[in-house]
Structure 1
Amino acid sequence: MIPARYGASRFPGKLMKDLAGKPVIVRTYEAALGTGLFGRVVVVTDSKDIAEAIRNAGGEVIMSREDHETGSDRIAEAVEQLDVDIAVNVQGDEPFIEGESLAKLLDVFRADPDGEIDLASLMTEITDPEEIASPNTVKVITDHRGFALYFSRAPIPYPRSETVRATYFKHKGVYAFRKQALLDFRRLPMQPLEAVEKIEAIRYLEYGKRIKMVQTRVTGIEIDTPEDLEKAKAAWT
């Protein structure tokens, strides 16, 4: 499932911007389809322009309401009527998404016969001080088993000790959900921590959902700003 909202706050219309001859959203759709991991790849959008671009590329679209606050809400609306066990959320601005990382997310559920895990998501280690400090980079900390403890736009953990090296992980907005976790998310109201950080993953934690984090070395380029788009164009081959 690829949630695709046209009116992104930081870069409106970014999903329809050109990336090597095709809109960003079409590049992302083709990348997800090209992994060969899924029985069905669907773009969920409130935009007629995005829907037309995907259909012209031979893809499947589900139209959603416009007033969703998060991608999870948008996917939950679409998934509710579908006969699925696991839904994978690939953000529409991730044209460099690849199969190795997505396969790791699916493996989490294959190794969880008791249903202990509600959702899984990706993280990658970061070392650049500017990226660690940036509020545009969501950081995550985990317990010793790899379950998320908290997500923040602030640098976590804070490096108070001068003798212990802090390791930082960036949260990549790619998820795999059990269907019920998505349906629960949609009916549960936003709490203060999610509201102040503007990070939807926090809602799952606030209501006791278990998020298994999977480390990946694949960073890719998420297109959040015009500068990111230029980087993506330069990297595209």
Structure 2
Amino acid sequence: MSAAVIIPSRYASTRFNGKPLALINGSPMIRHVYDNAKKASLPEAVIVATDDTRIYDAVRAFGGNAVMTAANHRSGTDRIFEAAKDLQYDIIVNVQGDEPLIRADMIDAVIELLISDNRAGIGTLKKRITEPEDVFDPNVVKVVADHNGFAMYFSRAPIPYYRNLTTITKDSHILFNGNMDDTHYYKHIGIYGYRRDVLARMAVLNESPLERAELLEQLRAMENGIKIKVGQTEHETIGVDCPADIEKVEKWLNTYS
């Protein structure tokens, strides 16, 4: 099966305007994402889909492949569908443009999930959570999967809820009283592989009730019967949501790369 990576990248952001062009160790963030995606062995192409000529020009300047898309898309999924609709790849991988630490083997792993299991419409990844503060951080999305690796639910809340290890006080504070080694909390890594027909279906589905509640687009797929296969990775990623995250990424790169 043929595969391509599409990186949705928009300039406007309420928390970090111009984020894709923010410099990380002297290079724009979008280049870090693009270069890491190019190292994957299974995709035949890597494309940046953007709504802004500044991002388009920056990608072209470092020799990357970019296409212009509409500015009014409601989500990254809609943006990659516009970029992919005239392409003939069987699998489209959505790599977020604010994930500069994404690794090539993570991209290959998502593609392998779809190649190896024809029941899966979407493939994604999870990582074991080892710090209690991540469990209760709503910005860290948690996932629960069944014994076959299919997602049962995604949430910003701590799932599963360990009743004997967790206390909610009267003033709504959450206290964790256990050992993390005794738990099975998993962080969702925001990379998605779509079968071509599933991506087309996602682009026309209406926002679902659970999606509105959690602000998690993957719940739209689940509410409409699309099965999401979840693989496990040991690699950590640092998504860039605000300027302070740039320093975290640079520290990681200067320490481990």
What's the TM-score once normalised by structure 2's chain length? 0.87
Contact 1:124 1:218 in 2 (8 A): yes
Choose the corresponding residue for 1:88, options 86, 93, 99. Answer: 93
Structure 1 residue 166: Cα displacement = 3.1
Cα shift at 1:142:
0.8
- What does residue 75 of structure 1 align with? 80
- Counterpart in the other structure of 2:199: 182
The CA RMSD measured in Å over matched residues stands at 1.6
* DSSP-derived class of the 2:82 partner: helix
- Deviation for aligned residue 1:74: 0.9
- Of residues 19, 41, 47, the one that matches 1:42 is 47
- Deviation at 1:161? 3.2
The question of 1:12 aligning with 2:17 is answered: yes
Equivalent residues of 2:38, 2:104 under 8 A apart: no
Match of 2:33 in 1: 28
Secondary structure of 2:77's match? Answer: helix
Q: 2:211 aligns with which of 175, 194, 197?
A: 194
| Moved >6 Å (runs of 4+) | none
Q: How is 1:208-227 mapped onto 2 (pairs within 5 angstroms)?
A: 208-227=225-244
**Residue of structure 2 equivalent to 1:156:** 159
**1:152 maps to amino acid:** S
How far off is 1:127 after superposition?
Answer: 1.9
Q: CA deviation at 1:4?
A: 0.6
Residue of structure 2 in register with 1:137 after alignment:
140
- Which stretches in structure 1 are left out of the alignment for 5+ residues? none
Question: What is the aligned partner in structure 1 of residue 183 from structure 2?
Answer: 166
Partner deviation per Cα, 1:77-110 (whole Å, 9 max, x = no partner): 1111111100111111111111222222122122
SS of the residue 1:87 aligns to: strand
Q: 1:37, 1:99 within 8 Å by CA — same for their partners in 2? A: no
What amino acid is aligned across from residue 30 of structure 2 in structure 1?
I
The answer to whether the 8 A contact 2:94-2:191 is kept is: yes
* Aligned counterpart, 1:98: 103
| 1:31 CA drift (Å) | 1.0
Find the aligned partners of 2:139 and 2:46 in 1 and give their Cα distance: 28
Change (3 A) 1:9 1:145: farther
1:124: which partner in 2?
A: 127
Identity of aligned residues (%): 40
Secondary structure of the structure 1 residue equivalent to 2:190: strand
Any conservation in 2 of the 1:121–1:212 contact (CA below 8 Å)?
yes
SS of residue paired to 1:93? coil
Secondary structure, aligned partner of 1:12: coil
Q: What is the letter of the counterpart of residue 147 of structure 2?
A: H
- Distance across 1 between alignment mates of 2:98 and 2:252: 15
Deviation of the 1:45 alpha carbon: 0.7
Q: Which moved more, 1:103-112 or 1:67-76?
A: 103-112
Alpha-carbon distance in structure 2 between the residues aligned to 1:227 and 1:106: 32
Q: Bigger radius of gyration, 1 or 2?
A: 2
